[in-house]
Amino acid sequence: MSRVLVARLDSMGDVLLSGPAVRAVANGNRPDGSRPNDVVLLCGPEGAAAAEMLPGVTQVHTWASPWIVNPAPQVTEEMTNGLVNFVRSSRIEEAVILTSFHQSPLPLALLLRLAGVRKITGASTDYAGSLLDVRLKPGEDFPEDQPEAVRALTIAEAGGYVLPNGDDVKLRVSPGQDPDGLADELAEEGPYIVVHPGAAVPARAWPALHHAAAVELLEAYGHRVVVTGGPSEASLTATVAGPSARNLGGGTDLRTLAAVLAGAAVVVTGNTGPAHLAAAVGTPVVCLFAPVVPAIRWAPYGVPLELLGDQEAPCRNSRARVCPVPGHPCLSSVTPEQVVEAVERLLGGVSSLATRRKVWKP
């Protein structure tokens, strides 16, 4: 058994999308898993909680990368030596560096090489010299316009790692503890829709009052609505929940949120980490997707999906954090009625909403 480092240095959603690749590395190089590996997942601070939930991960190490984290930490000898010394002391023999199209694996590859890692796999448009043993050339060795989860798995496979027989190549997380029993409580009260209105950057956010109107309409259609959000989103979730929806804003850690999403009939959210968490627990998603990044790469993967938003808007592929177009038309043009119609279409594929209960116990 070898110890292999898998690196995904950015956000929670990015880490969740690396799940199939992580399982391939953990499985080793035989479909029957007869030569498994210990996987050390190297991630940034925003991805650590998700990394702890990925099947196949033996150990999680958090490191704030100065070329990924925003705002960027200062590069210091202490910082770089800390990572190099960790890798050396962990007896890591191989590494797979997972990146998106706009990221380079080479800075990390240099540090890993200094730490003595003998085999490094990554995808790089730039000449990698002796930094990568296995180099994929994006656009030549694989197409860029494919789901991010498939891109990550392609990199792992190039390094010689394969998924176990029967793996469905979907996102997945391991269930954990929900000490407050919140998910069970919600399930006992009957079916519900989750609305998650927050977004990490403004360019990906549907207006709060649109969310609130959609919640009112969903309730008018007879649906029970649960609104979720982080600790910094209490005002937003209170506005969206209104007087009658259940407001869980700031009240869930990531494992509890996963259980809440798993129990939902449908999740309504933007291009956010919770969209990928919903996909990882198998829940259909209505995704209000701003085209600042391509939906073919970043839309929720492997679950029934309704994608809303003008994907040909002028902000397309700009990677903007703040909308560059007055009025934010790519999302503000989506009406609450369209969201409710999308929810109803997804529910139409469920044989009986009243009896629908997924098996995912925290």
Structure tokens given for 249:
């804003």
Contact 55, 20 (CB under 8 A): no
* 72 CB burial (10 A radius; 0-12, 13-18, 19+): exposed
The pLDDT tens digits along the chain (362 residues) read 789 999 999 999 999 999 999 999 999 888 877 778 999 999 999 999 999 999 999 999 999 999 999 899 999 999 999 999 999 999 999 999 999 988 999 999 999 999 999 999 999 999 999 999 999 999 999 998 999 999 999 999 999 999 999 999 999 999 776 767 899 999 999 999 999 999 988 999 999 999 999 999 999 999 999 999 999 999 999 999 999 999 999 999 999 999 999 999 999 999 999 999 999 999 999 999 999 999 999 999 999 999 999 999 999 999 998 989 999 999 999 999 999 999 999 999 543 333 333 433 33
Position 34 scores a pLDDT of 75
CA 197, CA 199: separation in Å to the nearest integer? Answer: 7
Cis omega (within 30 of 0) on the bond before 71? yes
Q: E strand or H helix at 134, and its extent?
A: strand 134-136
H or E segment to which residue 343 belongs:
helix 336-347
